Amino acid sequence: MIEPHSAKPPLPPGIYGITAEKYSRGRSTDQVVRAMIDGGILIIQYREKRPVKSFAVMLEECREIRRLTREAGVLFIVNDYADIARLVDADGVHVGQDDLPVPAVRELIGPDKLIGLSTHNPEQAAAAVLAGADYIGVGPIFATTTKEDVCLPVGLEYLEHVVRCCPLPFVAIGGIKEHNLGQILQRGAKTVCLVTEIVGAEDIAATVGRLQAAIKGSG
């Protein structure tokens, strides 16, 4: 088993923020990120895709987000694009099962950056440990339309398995809303991602603050 590198920052508890301009009520990505930071989020992932956005646009957005997160002491993760993450000196990369494998991403970004891997079943969680992932995504817990070509919901059973059996830090994700957040927290999740509930909120900072307080209160 490949052990996580000790120099890397830990996955912070609380809300794991993810950008999703499609659901952001006309607000730009950097506006959403500023509001997330104002609400107290400690980790933000940039998840925008081609062909909706060009590589040039995504690079410039990531440069600005890197500036904002660095000033605020917030971790910055880039979804999928290890090349962009390296160019902007992001804190890590998050990949899916059909993206570049974790060892290849490690070659591109070096030993001191975080690599997250989306997983959907116990076998993938075990493989993530062996591959050298630093943390895993666990989900989608509930049905979600935020991400295209997503697999069927894995349910709470897989979350319970990860809490019991996986040594890696994890983020619970997929269809999580304020009304079902308690079900996730009751089963031991410490880091949770709510996408549309946050980026689509009228007041993002206030929503983040309320959700952060709920997570902190559960532990």
Answer whether residue 2 shows pLDDT above 90: no
Is 147 assigned a catalytic role?
A: yes
Catalytic one among 34, 66, 106, 147? 147
User: What's the rounded mean pLDDT across residues 67-91?
Assistant: 98
Catalytic one among 24, 66, 113, 118? 118
Catalytic one among 34, 47, 66, 190? 47
**Interatomic CA distance for residues 53 and 19, integer angstroms:** 13
Percent of the chain whose pLDDT exceeds 90: 89
**Interatomic CA distance for residues 199 and 23, integer angstroms:** 6
**Interatomic CA distance for residues 106 and 116, integer angstroms:** 11
Is 118 assigned a catalytic role?
A: yes
Answer whether residue 3 shows pLDDT above 60: no
**Interatomic CA distance for residues 84 and 159, integer angstroms:** 31
Measure CA 58 to chain center. Answer: 17
pLDDT band at 5 (very low <50, low <70, confident <90, very high): very low
User: What's the rounded mean pLDDT across residues 56-72?
Assistant: 98
The CATH-assigned architecture of domain 14-218 is Alpha-Beta Barrel (3.20)
pTM for the whole structure:
0.94
Answer whether residue 149 shows pLDDT above 80: no
